[in-house]
Structure 1
């Protein structure tokens, strides 16, 4: 097996400290990593020599991240492909639940499905990549609408009564606003027969490196398989799947 280089590991540990702190002193690095002063000094000098860290004069001297890290991050972000990354995660989630799993994005008042992995059961959801549905009628759409600021949501709801797809669709804008408050609090959205009376769906947000919600992942199943136990399991699974895809898109969850 290839050997992990300890010095490189320690250098990366130093750089990762700056994910949570804009500036750190040598002593703070020593205390947080529990490393000897000489080791920390050598690591900081090396990283500064390569411009991965920049020293800020003062008492004590502070360090901050340098431009090469921004360049590497920009190169990584430029090569990210939501559809490609989503296909890998969606496949894994569907393999666990054997139900339909989707990833969708918001386009005005609608959602567009970018990725789908179908259920293995004979009775399944009828959907497809490229399909467009009213956002407020779907779990993915409600997740995405809940991420909008007030002006963005106003732009979607300004036309008054919303179109319905089933008798259970939310068509009153004020009722939808209250519903979206619950979605924000729960961090998941549920479609209880609002886009298809025979189907149920749960969805969670997908975020990018900045924490912005860029898409949503959903798990859909017919009502005949939507038991309380299955719903609890699938809610956890779709949260995990959305978190995994968010991590692939550069999102780093903050500790609460």
Structure 2
């Protein structure tokens, strides 16, 4: 395994391919061993051979892509954990892609637990700050398409009552301002979400608090906004985890 990895690393350094003899010299492997390993790696799809030269194959490229994706995910997880500890609130990271809301990461603690998903987040975008913030970043056609698939329904006495009321609220939201939601998704909980847009990808970072701490919500959201400004570069690069 170790020798095969050495060969893969050596091939990766040659954008235009390399012959077996050169790879043997670079890795310090005997030529027969090199040929044997190269044949195996080609068979498994980690390398491909073209006119006597060896290149990385699709299997190796998938490994590289997977590693990069894991690194991006780690960046987001670390950022959320940092904000959770700095502000003392649960922090959520969600995106809107392919017509669906995905809550990708949540950072909380036993003392500050995340909101329990008692009604599916995807189906109830109208009722929580995460969903409202993501919908606010879409154009009117995309919003109406989402609501046609997931109609507004009351979850609590505070939930927006119909599509028209929700769309009016979304239109009134100011760009880059926190989206505030008070007990619309779950009684006893208030939430705030901040928009994060890179290219055509809509995303949000959000926080939640018990309703009896509602006076902390807006200051905490402002603090999160400041913290996000410091780490925005690394987070936006990780938006597609």
Instruction: Provide the TM-score with structure 1 as the length reference.
Output: 0.57
Structure 1: gaps of 5 or more residues: 1-74, 252-256
After superposition, the CA RMSD in angstroms is 3.2
**Structure-1 separation of matches of 2:156 and 2:97:** 21
Q: Give the match for residue 205 of structure 2.
A: 217
CA contact (8 A) 1:207 1:246 kept: no
Structure 2: gaps of 5 or more residues: 1-63
Alignment partner of 1:198 is 2:184: no
Q: Match for 2:88 among 76, 98, 122? A: 98
**Structure-1 separation of matches of 2:132 and 2:178:** 9
Tell me the matched-pair count.
171
Q: Match for 2:78 among 74, 84, 88? A: 88
Report the alpha carbon displacement of residue 182 of structure 1 after superposing the two structures with TM: 2.6
Q: Give the match for residue 130 of structure 2.
A: 140
Q: Give the match for residue 158 of structure 2.
A: 168
Closer, same or farther: CA 223–151 of 1 in aligned 2, 3 Å: same
Report the alpha carbon displacement of residue 183 of structure 1 after superposing the two structures with TM: 2.3
**Structure-2 separation of matches of 1:160 and 1:225:** 31
**Structure-2 separation of matches of 1:180 and 1:164:** 17
Q: Give the match for residue 41 of structure 1.
A: none
Instruction: Provide the TM-score with structure 2 as the length reference.
Output: 0.60
Alignment partner of 1:112 is 2:102: yes
With a CA cutoff of 8 Å and minimum separation of 6, indicate the structure with the bigger relative contact order: 2
Between Structure 1 and Structure 2, whose CA radius of gyration is higher?
2
User: C-alpha offsets along residues 156-195 of structure 1, whole Å, 9 cap, x if unaligned?
Assistant: 2336951222111113111111111232346221111011
**Structure-2 separation of matches of 1:84 and 1:164:** 36
